[in-house]
Structure 1
Amino acid sequence: MLRSRLQLAAVCSGLEAALFGAGLLMIGLLLGSSARAEPIRGAGSTFAAPIIAKWAENYRASRVDGGDFASPDWTVDYELVGSLAGVMRLDQPELDFAATDVPISHDELVKHGRQQFPIVLGSVAVAVNLEGIAAGDLKLSGQVLADIYLGKIQSWADPAIKEINPDLQLPDVKILPMYRKDGSGTTHMFTQYLSSASAEWKAGYGADTLIAWPVGTGVEGTQDLVLAVKATRGAIAYAEYGQAERANLAFAAILNRAGRFVSPGPEGVRAAQDAVDWSKAQDFAVSLTDQPGEATYPICGATYAVVPIEGQSPGRYRRVHDYFRLAFDTGARDAEALRYVPLSEPLVSEIKQYWLRQPAAGH
Structure 2
Amino acid sequence: MKVSHFGRGAALLSVTALALTACGGDDNGNGDDNGNGENGEVNAEEVQGTLEGGGASSQESAMTEWNQQFLEVAPNAQVNYNPVGSGGGREGLLGGQYDFAGSDAAMDDEEWEDSKEVCGDEGAFHIPSYITPIAVAYNVDGIEDGLQLDADTLAQIFSGEITSWDDDAIAEQNEDLDLPSTSITVVHRADDSGTTENFTEYLETASDSWDEEPSGDWPSDFSAESAQQTSGVVSLASETDGAITYADAGQIGDLNSVNVRVGEEYVEYSPEAAATAVERSPQAEGQAENDMAFDLDRETTEEGAYPIVMVAYNIFCNEYSDQEKVDLVKAYGEYIVSEDGQNAASDAAGSAPMSEDLRSEAEEAFSQISAAE
TM value normalised by structure 2: 0.79
Residue 10 of structure 2 aligns with which residue? none
**Residues 139 and 237, structure 2, Cα contact 8 Å, conserved in 1:** yes
Counterparts of 1:251-262 in structure 2, within 5 Å, are 251-256=257-262, 258-262=263-267
Residue 274 of structure 1 aligns with which residue? 279
CA pair 133-212 structure 1, distance change in 2 beyond 3 A: same
Measure how far apart 1:344 and its partner are. 0.8
Residue 187 of structure 1 aligns with which residue? 196
Residue 41 of structure 1 aligns with which residue? 52
Measure how far apart 1:134 and its partner are. 2.7
Unaligned runs of 5+ in 2: 1-30, 116-122
CA pair 317-116 structure 1, distance change in 2 beyond 3 A: farther
1:207 and 2:210 matched: no
- What is the aligned-residue RMSD (CA, Å)? 2.9
Measure how far apart 1:298 and its partner are. 1.3
Alignment counterpart, residue 341 of structure 1, candidates 347, 352, 355: 352
Measure how far apart 1:218 and its partner are. 1.3
Q: Distance in 1 between matches of 2:286 and 2:309?
A: 17
Q: Distance in 1 between matches of 2:255 and 2:286?
A: 35
Query: SS at 2:236's partner residue?
Result: helix
1:248 and 2:254 matched: yes
1:88 and 2:91 matched: yes
Residue 15 of structure 1 aligns with which residue? none
Counterparts of 1:94-243 in structure 2, within 5 Å, are 94-105=97-108, 108-112=111-115, 113-135=123-145, 137-202=146-211, 205-213=212-220, 214-243=222-251
Q: Distance in 2 between matches of 1:285 and 1:259?
A: 29
1:62 and 2:73 matched: yes
Amino acid at match of 1:211: W
Q: Which has more helix, going by share of residues? A: 1
Query: SS at 2:70's partner residue?
Result: helix
**Residues 31 and 315, structure 1, Cα contact 8 Å, conserved in 2:** no
Q: Distance in 2 between matches of 1:105 and 1:333?
A: 30
**Residues 187 and 210, structure 1, Cα contact 8 Å, conserved in 2:** yes
Query: SS at 2:218's partner residue?
Result: coil
Q: Rg: which structure is higher?
A: 1
Per-residue CA deviations over 1:166-185 (Å, capped at 9, x if unaligned) read 11011100000000010111
Identity of paired residues, percent? 29
CA pair 297-195 structure 1, distance change in 2 beyond 3 A: same
1:324 and 2:333 matched: yes
Query: SS at 1:284's partner residue?
Result: coil
TM value normalised by structure 1: 0.81
Unaligned runs of 5+ in 1: 1-22, 65-70
Q: Distance in 2 between matches of 1:278 and 1:104?
A: 14
**Residues 131 and 274, structure 2, Cα contact 8 Å, conserved in 1:** yes
Aligned length: 325
Query: SS at 2:58's partner residue?
Result: coil
**Residues 138 and 165, structure 1, Cα contact 8 Å, conserved in 2:** yes
**Residues 288 and 299, structure 1, Cα contact 8 Å, conserved in 2:** no
